[in-house]
Structure 1
Amino acid sequence: MRILVLGIAMVFFLGCKEGKTEKKEETESLKKPNIVLIMADDMGFSDLGNYGSEINTPSLDRLASEGTRISRFYTNTICAPSRTSLLTGQYPHKAGMGFFNEDFGVPGYEGYLNKESLTLGEVFKTGGYATYMAGKWHVGNEKPHWPLQRGFDNFFGFLDGGASYFDTKPLLKGPPSTAFLYEGNEVYNINKEDFYLTDELTSRAIDFVKDKPEEKPFFLYMAYNSPHWPLHAKPEDIAKYKGKYDAGWDELRKLRFENIKKLGLVNEDWNIFKDKLLPPWDSLSAEEKSEWTLKMEVYAAMVDNLDQNIGKLLNYLGTSGQLDNTVVIFLSDNGAENMDVGKMPFTVKRNEGPVGTAGSMEAYTKNWAQVSNSPLRSYKSSPYEGGVATPFIIRYPGQKEKSNILKGGTHVIDIMPTLLNIAQIDYPETYNGIKVNSLAGESFLPLLQGEDWKREQPICFEWFGDRAVWLGDLKGVSVYPGNTWELYDLAADRTETNNIADSQPETIAKMDAIYNEWANANGVFAWSEEMSKKTPFRKSPH
C-alpha cells in the first residue's frame, strides 16, 4: 500500500512538473519581443565594415553576421523628414514635417508631428510596452511636441538638429538653440569632466532598460547624433586612424568599391560615380592634405566610437538575458554630409580650436562624403542614391537564416508596419479620440522570412523641390529648379550614370502621374522661391 501511494504521488508530482514546464514554455513563446531601433546620423552607405568600410565596426559587423542586411533600403534625403517617417510610418508631409521643424503655416509644413500621425512610442504603448528614447528628436521644438508628450516614458537627448559632443554651449547663430540636453522635460546641465555625448546616450539607454517594469517588454529608440557634425572625437579614438587616410579620397573610394563588390552588395559591372566638381587628391598641397586627412580621421573615430557604444548596449542585453528576445535594427537617417558647415558664417556661432576638439565646428564635406557613399551618386539632401540609400541591418528572434543580404527596395515608412507585424500589435484607428492616418508603408517581414516579396506600392519623395519616384528597379529623379524627370534602371545602373529618360517617355509619364497623385494625397506643395524665403536653410547643389 505504501509503495502504491508513493507511486501515485510520484505520478502526480511529475504531471504537475510537466504541466508547469509546458505552461512556462507556452508563456515564453507568447512573450513579446523587445525592440531596439538604432538610427545613426549622416552616415554614408559604405561606412560600416560589413558594407565595405575600412573603419573598425566589430559590433555592427557581428549584428550583420547574425542578422540580415538589405542592400536597397531608402530613407528621405535629410534628417527631420527621415525621422518623421521612421517615427510615424508616414511620408513626412502627411505627418506635418514636409520641410524641417519650421512652421510654414500650412498643413504638411507645420514643423512638428501632427496628432493624426502616431509615433512608435504611442503605438507600442498601446501594445503594453515600456517606451524609451535617447538622442536626437528634431521633429518638434515646442513642449507639446516633445518625446514625453508623444508616447515615450522617458527621454534623454536634444531637440534640435545638432549638438556638441563635449558641452552644451550654443553651436549656431540666431535664436536660442534647443540643442542643449534634456532629461525628460527638464534641461540637463553637464557636470562630468569626461563627458562625451555618444557614451552618455548609451549609458542612459541602459539605465532606462534596467529600471523598466519587470512585466513589460520595452521599445527603445536610440537616435544617435554620431557621426553628424561637428567633428568631435576622443583623442584615443582619433589615434587609431592616424595615417589611415593618407592615400586620399580618390584611392579610398575605389578601395571601398572593391570591398563592396566582394561582399556582394553591388554588381561587378556598375560604374563608380565620380563627382567632377571635387578636386583630385593629387592636386592638393601637403598642408591641405594634412588638414583633410585629420577631418577623415576624426570622422572615422566617431563611427568607431558609435560602434563601441552599440556594442555596450548589445552586451548589456546579452548578459542580462534579453538579447535573444530582442529585435535590433540599425540604419542611418540619410547619406553622408554634403555641406562645409564650418565655412558658413551666417550659421556658425563658434569655430575655434583644432578639428576634433570641443571648440571646433567642422564637417568633412563632399570631399570625404564621396568615400562614405561609394560607389553611389551625390550626398545628403539629394534625391540621388547617395542621399537616400543607407546601411540597414536587422536581427530578430526566430530568424531562420543568418548573414543574409537581401535586395529589398524598401523604405523607412515600412519599418513601423514591419515591427508591428513582428510584435503582433494592431495599429489603432483612433487615438485619444482622434482618427489617425492609416500607415503608408508595407511590412517587409515576408522578405526577411525568405518569401518572394516585393513592395506593392511605389515609393515617392519630395524635399526642397527635389522629387523622386521608385517603381521597382526604375527610379525617376527631378531636381529643383529644373523639374525635368531623369530615369535610371537601378538593377543595371545603381550609380545613376546613364539617364535613360529619352528612351522611355511612357515610363516618365506614368511616374509623373504617380507623383502628382501622391503629392495631392500627402499635402505636398510645388516648391517655389517664395517657400525658400521662409527658411534660413540653404541647400547646396547636388
Structure 2
Amino acid sequence: MKLRRLAFLLCIIIDLEMIYGEEDSAIKVPEITNAPNLEKAHLYRILLNHSTSRGILVLNALQLQLIPYTVIMLILPIRLRMDVFLYGFLLLTLSKCVVSKSPNIVFIVADDLGWNDVGFHNPAIISPNIDYLAKNGMILNNSYVQPVCSPSRNAFLSGFYPFKSGLQNFVILPQAPSCAPLNRTFLPQKLKELGYATHMIGKWHLGMCKWECTPTYRGFDTFYGYYNGQEDYYNYTVLNGSDFRDNKEPIRPNEYSTYAYARRADKIITQHNKSQPMFLYLPFQSVHEPIQVPEIYENMYQDIKNEGRRKYSGMVTAMDDAIGNVTESLKRNGMFEDTLIIFTADNGGWTTFSGNNYPLRGGKATVYEGGTRASAFVYGSGLQKPYTVFDGMIHAVDWMPTILSAAGGGQVSGIDGVDLWPSISEGVPSSLRSEFIYNLDDSLVPIVGHAAIRMGNYKLIEGFAGAYNGWYPVPENEEDSEIEEPKVDYYQLYNLRDDPNEHNNLHIKEHSMLKKMKERLDEYRKYIFSSMFSRLTSVFASLIRFERSRYTFKCSGRTITAVKIKGMLRKRSRRLIKSTPLTWSKGPTIMFSKAKAPLLRMDVILYVPLLLSLFECVVSKSPNIVFIVADDLGWNDVGFHNPDIISPNIDYLAKNGMILNNSYVQPVCSPSRSAFLSGFYPFKSGLQNNVIGPAEAACPPLNQTLLPQKLKELGYATHMIGKWHLGMCKWECTPTYRGFDTFYGYYNGKEDYYNYTIANGSDFRDNKVPIRPNEYSTYAYARRADIIITQQNKSQPMFLYLPFQSVHQPIQVSCYCDAEKNPRTLRRHKPSPFTLILQGHEDLVYSAFTIIVKTRETLTIIKIQVFRIAIIYLCLTDNCVFEYTMRLFTFLIHVVRIMYILINDNSATGAMFCLAIK
C-alpha cells in the first residue's frame, strides 16, 4: 500500500510540475537531454530520491517522452505497474493538454541578409546562436520573400501578395504619403484576438504618413524602433531627421541600435505576464546599410582582407549576439521551452554593401534566387521533427496564417497565404504550396522586376529581373570579386530542381511550360493593385550609395548614373566607399564629387534693405519686381563671364543693366535664402551650419519678418515659384504662411526634375496641395509664371520670387554621350564647358529669340543672334557615360519667356530684374 501511495504521489508531483514548473527559472537540467542513455538503476534512483516538486523537475523534463513508457514500467515492481499505467494514461492525456497551450512566438527578421551570410550556410561567418537554433530546429531550405524590404514586411504581417497592396514596385520612403493598406488585418491584430500580448522591436518600414499607419495602431501593444527603411546605427537619423521611438515618443537610446533592441527585448520578456502568451516581432536593423559595427566585431574577421566584407560580417555576428541575449532571457524567465522561434531574412543580400548570396544568382532588388530565397528556420515549441531540413516551399505570405495556426487560431479566408503549420510541425512538405508569385509589377520601368512565378520546379521571369543579374562570389582580398553578367532574354525559364542557381534558360526548349506559366501570370495580373509609388529612377540611381555626390542623366527614357568604370560596369569598387547617413543632398541617390566646384563667399545682408530702399525712390508707382535665384550656378557659368556659355537673355539683362561684380552669398542653399528674405545673417537665425533637411524639424525663426510680408504691407501681390528650402516641419514655416499669396514649387533642397521626388517621396505643391505637373520642372515654373503674370491685376504692383531649381543636381536634361569610350572622369565637353548638346530635340536645332523691351514711350525690338545647337547622337551601348547637360540653357530660355510675357502684358514699365547668383 505504501509503494502504491508513493507511486501515485510521484505521478501527482510530476503532473503538477509539468503544469507549474515554469515558475522556477533557476532550475536547470541539461543532463536530461541524454536521458535515453541513462541506466535503469539510475532512473530508479531519480524516481525514488527526488521527493519534492522541484526535485521531480527531472521527470518533468522527461515528460514520459524522452524515455519510453515501457522503461518506467520495467523499473517499478509488478504490483504497481497497473496503477502507474492507469495514471500514466491520464498523465499523457493531461500532457497533451499542456502542450497544446498557445506558445510564445518570437518572429525574427534579418534585414538584407544574404544566403551566404549565416554560419549554417557559410562556416566563415561567426553566428553560433543562429546556427544552434537552425541546426536544432528545422532549416527551411525553400523559404521565399520579396526582393526588397517593405513588400516582404507587408506580406509577413498581412498574408497578401504585395501586388495586391500597391507595394510591388519599391519600398515606402520617408516622405511617401502612403502605407500598407489600412483595410487589411495584420498578424498582431489576429493574435490579440487569441489573447496574445504583442510587441514589436526594430524596423517598421510600412508607412508613417499618419498615426493609423504605425505599429501601435496596427495591433502591437508596444513599439520600440524606427519607422523608416534605414538609419544610422548610432545617432538614429535618416535624412538628418531623428527616427527612433518608444511607442510614439521620440527617444535616443545612445548606443549601437542592435544592443538597444536586445536590451528592450530582455525587458519585455522579463516583465511579461507568464500566464499570457507573448508574440514578439523582432525585425532587426542589421545588416542593412550603412555598414557600421563596433570594432570588437570587426576585429573577429581579421582574416578577411576586404574592408566592406569584414565590417558586414561583424554586423552579422553582432546581430547573432543580440539573438543569443534574447534566447538567454527566455531561458532565464522560464519561457524558452514554450517558445516558437522563427527566423528569416526580408530579402537577399545587397551585394553593393558586401552582402553575399553565392552560389545563388543576383541579390537584393532582383527576382533571381539570390534576391528572394531567404536564410530561414524555425525552432522550438510544436516541432515534432527537429534537427531536420525542410524542403517544402514556403512564401512570405504564408507566415501570417502559419503563425496563427501555431498559436491555436483558425483559418484565415481571402488571403494569399496558406497555413503550413501542420506541414512544418510534422516535417512533411505540403501540396498546399506548389506555386507562388515572386513579383508582379505593372510599371513600365520596374524597380524590382516585371514579373516572376514559381510553379512546381519551374520558375519563369518575364521582362526586367533586376539590376544585379550575375553571380557574386565572396571577395578573397581587397579587390571585390569579378561580376559575371550574362546577356538576359525577355523570358527566362529555369528548372530549379536541376538548376537552382539559374544558369540554363529553357524558354526555347520548354515552350509548352513557358506558355502555361505565362497564362498563369496573366490570371494573377487581373488582381494587380496600382503601385502606390511614383515612377522612380532605376535601381542603380536610387539604391546604390557612393561617397558624396553623383550625377544622373536622362537619355532616351533611361536614367544613367555616372560611376567609375570599375564601379558597376564590370567590377564592384576596389574598396569600401565610406557610407554616411542620408543628408539633404543624399536621397536614394547618394553622390560623390569629382572636384569641388568653387563657391562664392558672401554677404547678402544688403539685398532686403536695397530692395526696400528702391521703393522709396519710385516717383509714380511701385515697380513690379522679379527676383530670380539660380541654384548652384558658378561664377564661370554665365555668358557675361564665360563666352562658352550660351545665355543670351541673361547676358542682355546683365550688360544692359548693372552687373554686380562684388555680390556675395552664403556657401549653401538654405542660409542664402534665409538671408535674401530676412535681412539677417544666417548665424543669427541658427542656419549657419548647413541646410535644412527633408525630415528636419527646423525653419527660419518665425519671429523674423520676411521680405514678402513687408511687400504686402506696401500693397504688393506676392508670388513664389520654385525652390523654398526654408523648412516644412509645420505649415507656419511654409511660403504661404511667410508672406506669399501663392506658392508653386517644392519645399525641400532638391528633387528629380521629372518625377518631383526627393528620397522617392513626391514634393511638389500648388499652394498647399500636392500635385504632379508631368513635365520637366523648369518648363512647369515658366508656365506658372506665365499664368500669374497674365492674371495679375495691373493696377497692383507684383513681386515674383523665382528661385529656379536649376542648376542644382540631379543633372537631368536632354543629354548626349561623349565620343570617348569609358572616360574615367566626368568632365565638361571641350571646347565649350557648358556646351549645349541635345539628343532627340531637333526642334531646337535652329532657335531665334526676340526680346521685346518696352519703355514708357517706345518699343524696342532687339533681335538676338540665331545660334545653332549641335546635336550629337552617341550612346555607346553599355559603356555610355554622359557629360554635363543643358539644364542651364533650359533655365535661360524660360527667363526670356517670362520677360516677353511681362512686356506684352504692359507689366514691365519700370520693372527691375534682379538676378542673384548663388
TM-score range for the pair, normalised by the shorter chain length: 0.7 to 0.9
Aligned residue number for residue 248 of structure 2: 185
Aligned residue number for residue 206 of structure 1: 266
- 1:132 deviation in Å? 0.3
Aligned residue number for residue 323 of structure 1: 336
Determine the C-alpha separation between the residues in 2 that align with 1:449 and 1:336: 30
Counterpart amino acid of residue 73 in structure 1: S
Contact residue 134 and residue 201 of structure 1 kept, 8 A: yes
- 1:401 deviation in Å? 2.6
Aligned residue number for residue 286 of structure 2: 226
Counterpart amino acid of residue 185 in structure 1: K
**Is 2:182 aligned against 1:115?**
yes
Q: TM-score, normalised by structure 2?
A: 0.45
Contact residue 380 and residue 388 of structure 1 kept, 8 A: yes
Aligned residue number for residue 513 of structure 1: 519
Aligned residue number for residue 256 of structure 2: 196
Of residues 136, 143, 147, the one that matches 1:73 is: 143
Of residues 191, 205, 229, the one that matches 1:161 is: 229
Aligned residue for 1:487, secondary structure, equals strand
Aligned residue for 1:51, secondary structure, equals coil
Determine the C-alpha separation between the residues in 2 that align with 1:100 and 1:20: 53
Contact residue 199 and residue 281 of structure 2 kept, 8 A: yes
Aligned residue number for residue 423 of structure 1: 407
Determine the C-alpha separation between the residues in 1 that align with 2:245 and 2:340: 27
Aligned residue number for residue 475 of structure 1: 459
> Within 5 A, what are the aligned runs for 1:21-100?
25=94, 28-100=98-170
Counterpart amino acid of residue 384 in structure 2: K
Contact residue 134 and residue 377 of structure 2 kept, 8 A: yes
Determine the C-alpha separation between the residues in 1 that align with 2:328 and 2:130: 12
Deviations 1:13-58 (A, max 9, x none): 9998798679874563342100000000001001111012401100
Aligned residue number for residue 132 of structure 1: 199
**Residues 456 and 40 (structure 1), Cα distance of their counterparts in 2 relative to 1, 3 Å cut:** closer
The 10-residue stretch of structure 1 (505-514 or 20-29) with the greater mean CA deviation from structure 2 = 20-29
**Residues 425 and 469 (structure 1), Cα distance of their counterparts in 2 relative to 1, 3 Å cut:** same
- 1:536 deviation in Å? 5.5
Determine the C-alpha separation between the residues in 2 that align with 1:236 and 1:322: 31
- 1:337 deviation in Å? 1.1
- 1:180 deviation in Å? 1.1
Aligned residue for 2:205, secondary structure, equals coil
Determine the C-alpha separation between the residues in 2 that align with 1:486 and 1:162: 32
- 1:338 deviation in Å? 4.0
Aligned residue for 1:306, secondary structure, equals helix
Determine the C-alpha separation between the residues in 1 that align with 2:126 and 2:15: 49
Counterpart amino acid of residue 504 in structure 2: N
**Residues 99 and 441 (structure 1), Cα distance of their counterparts in 2 relative to 1, 3 Å cut:** farther
**Residues 238 and 405 (structure 1), Cα distance of their counterparts in 2 relative to 1, 3 Å cut:** same
Determine the C-alpha separation between the residues in 1 that align with 2:532 and 2:243: 34
Contact residue 473 and residue 490 of structure 1 kept, 8 A: yes
- 1:440 deviation in Å? 3.0
Counterpart amino acid of residue 331 in structure 1: T
Contact residue 47 and residue 53 of structure 1 kept, 8 A: no
- 1:483 deviation in Å? 8.7
> Within 5 A, what are the aligned runs for 1:72-471?
72-100=142-170, 102=172, 111-141=178-208, 142-171=210-239, 177=241, 180-190=243-253, 192=254, 195-242=255-302, 244-246=303-305, 293-339=306-352, 364=353, 368-369=354-355, 372-427=356-411, 437-460=414-437, 461-463=439-441, 464=446, 465-471=449-455
Contact residue 139 and residue 390 of structure 2 kept, 8 A: yes
Contact residue 46 and residue 53 of structure 1 kept, 8 A: no
Aligned residue for 1:400, secondary structure, equals coil
Q: Which has the higher contact order (CA 8 A, sep 6+)?
A: 1
Aligned residue for 1:240, secondary structure, equals helix
Q: Which has the larger share of helix?
A: 1
Determine the C-alpha separation between the residues in 2 that align with 1:528 and 1:20: 61
Deviations 1:293-350 (A, max 9, x none): 12111111100100011001011111222111111011111011144xxxxxxxxxxx
The 10-residue stretch of structure 1 (378-387 or 205-214) with the greater mean CA deviation from structure 2 = 205-214
- 1:467 deviation in Å? 1.3
**Residues 445 and 111 (structure 1), Cα distance of their counterparts in 2 relative to 1, 3 Å cut:** farther
Determine the C-alpha separation between the residues in 2 that align with 1:471 and 1:444: 21
Determine the C-alpha separation between the residues in 2 that align with 1:510 and 1:497: 21
Aligned residue number for residue 40 of structure 2: none
Aligned residue number for residue 258 of structure 1: none
Contact residue 130 and residue 218 of structure 1 kept, 8 A: yes
Determine the C-alpha separation between the residues in 2 that align with 1:526 and 1:196: 33
Determine the C-alpha separation between the residues in 2 that align with 1:324 and 1:170: 39
Contact residue 96 and residue 111 of structure 1 kept, 8 A: no
Determine the C-alpha separation between the residues in 2 that align with 1:113 and 1:427: 22
* CA RMSD, 1 decimal: 3.3
Counterpart amino acid of residue 126 in structure 1: E
Determine the C-alpha separation between the residues in 2 that align with 1:530 and 1:492: 36
Larger Rg: 2
Counterpart amino acid of residue 462 in structure 1: L
**Residues 14 and 75 (structure 1), Cα distance of their counterparts in 2 relative to 1, 3 Å cut:** closer
Counterpart amino acid of residue 445 in structure 1: P
**Residues 126 and 529 (structure 1), Cα distance of their counterparts in 2 relative to 1, 3 Å cut:** closer
- 1:438 deviation in Å? 3.1
Contact residue 170 and residue 533 of structure 2 kept, 8 A: no
Deviations 1:45-85 (A, max 9, x none): 01111012401100011001210112221100000001110
Determine the C-alpha separation between the residues in 1 that align with 2:98 and 2:298: 44
Determine the C-alpha separation between the residues in 2 that align with 1:309 and 1:20: 34
- 1:520 deviation in Å? 1.5
Determine the C-alpha separation between the residues in 1 that align with 2:532 and 2:170: 16
Determine the C-alpha separation between the residues in 1 that align with 2:434 and 2:280: 29
Determine the C-alpha separation between the residues in 1 that align with 2:18 and 2:393: 41
Determine the C-alpha separation between the residues in 1 that align with 2:19 and 2:532: 59
Counterpart amino acid of residue 304 in structure 2: Y
Deviations 1:96-115 (A, max 9, x none): 43334559xxxxx9831223
Determine the C-alpha separation between the residues in 1 that align with 2:524 and 2:14: 57
Aligned residue number for residue 491 of structure 1: 497
- 1:395 deviation in Å? 0.7
The 10-residue stretch of structure 1 (475-484 or 199-208) with the greater mean CA deviation from structure 2 = 475-484
Determine the C-alpha separation between the residues in 2 that align with 1:383 and 1:324: 37
Q: TM-score, normalised by structure 1?
A: 0.74
Aligned residue number for residue 551 of structure 2: none
User: What is the percentage of aligned positions where both structures have the same residue?
Assistant: 27
